[in-house]
Amino acid sequence: MIATAVIASAAVTLGSVGYLAQFLNLPKELLIVVVIGGVSVVVAWGVLESVLLASLFTLIEVGGLVAIIVAAAWAGLPIGDALLAPPPADLATVSGLFFASLLAFFAFIGFEGLTNMVEESHSPTRNVPLAMALTLIITTALYVLVAAIAVTAVPLEKLASSEAPLTIVFQNVAGMGAAVISAIAIGATLNTIIAQMTMASRVIYGMARQGDLPSVLGAVHSTRGTPLVATVAISLLVLALALFIPFGRLAEFTSIATLIVFALVNASLLRLRLQRKNSTLGKSRVPIWVPLFGFISCIMMIGSSFF
């Protein structure tokens, strides 16, 4: 989970820099340092501040995506054709679909991070599963609709070559300037970085307190109560990856790492259910076919990256 958070933060940082470049004519490396440095300060300041800022960015992000969907519907874009048209059944297309699914899984990073915030939530046995279910449904719906709009409104080659693809989609669909959607995209990317770095620093802190990592990583700030050393360590790792690894590789590695985590969680739940260790399962239950299907689908998408 730490690896997933670090790699994802580096990938999203590059995405954020692509949109920031629409406003600031500065070297890419300097923008990377500014983004990671700014987010690190927020994460180190406190969990309440991190959550509030992430929530604000989430509202901005969802508002921007909904605006794209509304504009596309108003313009009469044939979204249904993109959603319902069956793909060719040849092997190359099926292989491409699995690999595309692997990259699209990037949109689902962060859900596993909710488990590390359980101790800081109210009524976790009720609220955390409910939050996961609702966000999964909302994220899936938004992702599918925006993806369908993107490939319908903009030529694929133009999308693939752009460092700010949502800006192009919004311009083509709504005919508006690039500044608004670029600002929304910056908020969306910063939201993800804050969430991932907050989660990763808490995982490191917890492992250090349990003796699984050096105790210095469990040190907290004397007044803020945040894991300062862990936050600095995560920030330096993210900075190194963002500076030296290209975006495409980071996105692929993020999806693979996330799928590995999800596969292991599903396998663990299967083992607990088969061993009938009901006392360890808590109050939230799902049918056994859910973790079985989850494990198989994760393994299939991981396998697609090797073909």
Average pLDDT over all residues of the chain: 83
**Phi and psi torsions of 12, nearest 5°:** -70, -30
pLDDT of residue 27: 92
pLDDT over 80 (residue 34): yes
- pLDDT the model gives residue 76: 83
pLDDT exceeds 70 at position 307: no
CATH class of domain segment(s) 2-246 = mainly alpha
Handedness of CA 153, 159, 162, 167 (dihedral sign): positive
**What pLDDT band is residue 21 in, cutting at 50, 70 and 90?**
confident
Handedness of CA 179, 185, 191, 194 (dihedral sign): negative
The model's confidence at residue 284, banded by pLDDT at 50, 70 and 90, is: low
Query: 115: Cβ–Cβ under 8 A, 6 or more apart, which residues?
Result: 128
Q: What is the mean pLDDT of residues 36-52?
A: 83
The tokens for 250 are: 């980071």
pLDDT digits (tens, 9 = 90+) for 116-131: 667 667 777 788 888 8
* pTM, rounded to two decimals: 0.72
- pLDDT value of residue 280: 53
Flag whether pLDDT at 82 surpasses 90. Answer: no
pLDDT in tens, 160-207: 787 777 778 887 887 766 677 778 778 878 888 888 898 889 889 889
Q: Which tops the pLDDT comparison, 178 or 148?
A: 148
CA dist 285 to 105, 118, 129, Å?
24, 17, 10
pLDDT tops 90 at residue 67: no
Q: Output the pLDDT for position 63.
A: 83
Q: Residue 278 has what pLDDT?
A: 56
